Chains A and B, each alone.
Chain A
Amino acid sequence: NAGVTQTPKFRILKIGQSMTLQCTQDMNHNYMYWYRQDPGMGLKLIYYSVGAGITDKGEVPNGYNVSRSTTEDFPLRLELAAPSQTSVYFCASSYKGREQYFGPGTRLTVT
């Protein structure tokens, strides 16, 4: 199993551009999550999903959107990139909402 995969690994965006961060898991987990981690800081939850078709906001959802049309995929959309969204983004999945398994991350810089 590949576990949780994320693409791209790195991205540089100009202010105002849009992009989608991709996340796929092959463990048949119902729960999926998006976190951001700023330098030297902990993990902040952006959005999460408890199953296909169900999404909910986390602590820091502003400026982001998600969708969950399949069990495997949970893309994160940035519509109008801002410098404050420069961060490392991690996707995670979980079977029952407890043990979460993380992807390798996407490093995003907005200039």
Chain B
Amino acid sequence: GQQLNQSPQSMFIQEGEDVSMNCTSSSIFNTWLWYKQEPGEGPVLLIALYKAGELTSNGRLTAQFGITRKDSFLNISASIPSDVGIYFCAGPKTSGSRLTFGEGTQLTVNP
């Protein structure tokens, strides 16, 4: 089936550092979504990618749709304490009406 593997599972960084995380699959995806979930809250959509090779930014966040369509990357520049949370990647299942989610990358930022 369509599975998404996220890495790393967790990251502990110092404020000001840049962060990179990725999401890979053995299947091709036509859309990649990146969500952030803060403690005690629901996931919030950060970035949506629709074309292979696409690079999209949202403030200090930049995400890329891999050329093979089997991976995506999320970078956070100059991290701050409020970046703490779990970052999920997601992509639509073949049926189109449901999403496959990765297991998430837990980010901790030390001030």
* A interface residues with partner B (beta carbon < 8 Å): 4, 31, 33, 41-43, 45, 48, 50, 58, 90, 92, 96-105
Contacts and interface: CB of A to CB of B under 8 A. Distances in A.
Contacts of B35: 102
Given A98-B48, A101-B45, A43 B88 contact: yes
Most chain B CB within a 10 A radius of its CB, from A33, A43, A50? A43
A100 B99 contact: yes
Most chain A CB within a 10 A radius of its CB, from B35, B90, B97? B97
Interface in B38-62: 40-45, 48
Contacts of A58: 98
Nearest to B43: A102
B23 interface: no
A101 B35 CA distance: 10
A90 B43 contact: yes
20 contacts: A4-B42, A31-B97, A42-B101, A42-B102, A42-B103, A42-B104, A45-B98, A48-B97, A92-B42, A97-B92, A97-B96, A98-B99, A99-B33, A99-B45, A100-B33, A100-B99, A101-B45, A102-B35, A102-B44, A105-B42
B83 to A, nearest CB: 19
A102 B96 contact: no
A53 B88 CA distance: 30
A7 to B, nearest CB: 14
Nearest to B6: A42
B97 A97 contact: yes
A40 to B, nearest CB: 9
B43 A97 contact: no
Given A97-B98, A98-B31, A98-B48, A105 B41 contact: yes
